[in-house]
Structure 1
Amino acid sequence: MNKFLLAVHVLAAIVAVGPVTVAASMFPPAARRALADPVDTRATAVLDTLRRICRVYAGLGIAVPVFGLATASSLGVLGDAWLIVSMALTALAAGVLGLLILPRQEALASSCSADGTADLAATRRLGMYTGLFNLLWATVTVLMIVRPGSTTGV
């Protein structure tokens, strides 16, 4: 059962978090292109697609901590420091995505398709929040692989 839970956890992370990470990273430059040419309908369509990918896969991403907790519980490592730090960083990454990235994507996409009044500074801030989100997930990934104090010899 441990192997099954771990496999589902890892697959969920790859399938759900990967697309959010890529789409969120592509959004700020795409928004800058859309702002540069407000009449370009293709640019606004790209923004809508990237925003939709982020929203849908963020919802699917709930499976990652759910199966992660189930795996940790079955392995008896819920109290390990590396896992507690990973859970805190995962919660922080979810907060950055839900509170900083997705609402700003929505606002930028709306302003690009409506009147093009969004400023470039907004795209830079969104890029910074996206970079923070990516850094948090990279850190969680490293912690999951290295697992400080693990008996696997890594």
Structure 2
Amino acid sequence: MTKFLLAVHVLAAIVAIGPVTVATSMFPPAARRVMEAPDDVRAAESLQLLYRICRVYALVGIVVPAFGFATASNMHVLGSAWLITSIALTALAAVVLVALVLPRQTALVEGGAGAVTREATVRLAMFTGLFNLLWAVVTVLMIVRPGSTTGA
């Protein structure tokens, strides 16, 4: 059962978190293209698509910690420092996404080309970078697992 839970956890991370990290990273430059060419329909459509990807995959991403907890419980490692740190960083990444990234994306998309400013896109890029950095650290912790018995 542990192998199944771990497989679903890893696949969900790849399928859900991967697209959201890429789409959030692509959003600020796409927003700047809308700002530079407000009449460019393709740029606006690209921005809408990236926004939709971010929202949908953020919801799908809930599967990752759910199966992560199930896997950790099955492996009896819920009290491990690396896992507690990963849980805290995952929660922080979720807060950054839900409280800082998605609302700014919403404001840019719903406000149209007039709402897109360089300052807004730079700030969004900063929060996006923080979100992606947190996921990178969690990924490394999941692979290295300090103190694990796998020899990694």
TM range (shorter): over 0.9
The change in CA–CA distance for 1:74 and 1:62 in structure 2 (over 3 A counts) is same
Instruction: State the alpha-carbon separation in 2 of the partners of residues 117 and 85 from structure 1.
Output: 37
Normalising to structure 1: TM-score of the pair?
Answer: 0.97
After superposing the two structures, state which structure 1 stretch, 57-66 or 39-48, moved more: 39-48
- Is the CA contact (8 Å cut-off) linking 2:5 and 2:67 kept in structure 1? yes
Mark the runs of 5 or more structure 1 residues left unpaired by the alignment. Answer: none
1:112-138 CA-to-partner distances (Å, cap 9, x unmatched) read 35xx24321100000000000000000
In 2, Cα distance between equivalents of 1:80 and 1:117: 45
Which residue identity lines up with residue 43 of structure 1 in the other structure? A
What is the root-mean-square deviation in Å for CA atoms of aligned residues?
A: 0.8
Q: Corresponding residue for 2:92?
A: 92
Q: State the AA in 2 paired with 1:102.
A: L
- Please point out which of 118, 128, 132 is paired with 2:126: 128
Partners in 1 of 2:135 and 2:77 — Cα distance? Answer: 20
Runs of 4+ in structure 1 over 2 Å off:
none
Q: Which amino acid aligns with 1:55?
A: R
Q: Which runs of 5+ in 2 are unaligned?
A: none
Partner SS state of residue 137, structure 1: helix
* Superposed CA offset, 1:87-122 (max 9, x none): 000000000000100010011112235xx2432110
Q: Does the 8 A contact of 1:78 with 1:84 survive in 2?
A: yes
Measured in 2, the distance between the counterparts of 1:89 and 1:105 equals 22
* Equivalent position of 1:15 in the other structure: 15
Q: Which residue of 2 aligns with 1:147?
A: 145
Question: Offset at 1:7?
Answer: 0.1
Return the TM-score normalized by structure 2. 0.98
Partner of 2:54: 54
**C-alpha spacing 1:151/1:117, structure 2 compared with 1 (3 Å):** closer
Identity %, equivalent residues:
70
| 1:37 equivalent in structure 2 | 37
- In the alignment, the residues of structure 2 paired with residue 18 and residue 152 of structure 1 have an alpha-carbon distance, to the nearest angstrom, of 25
Q: Report deviation, 1:5.
A: 0.2
Question: Partner letter of residue 99 of structure 2?
Answer: L
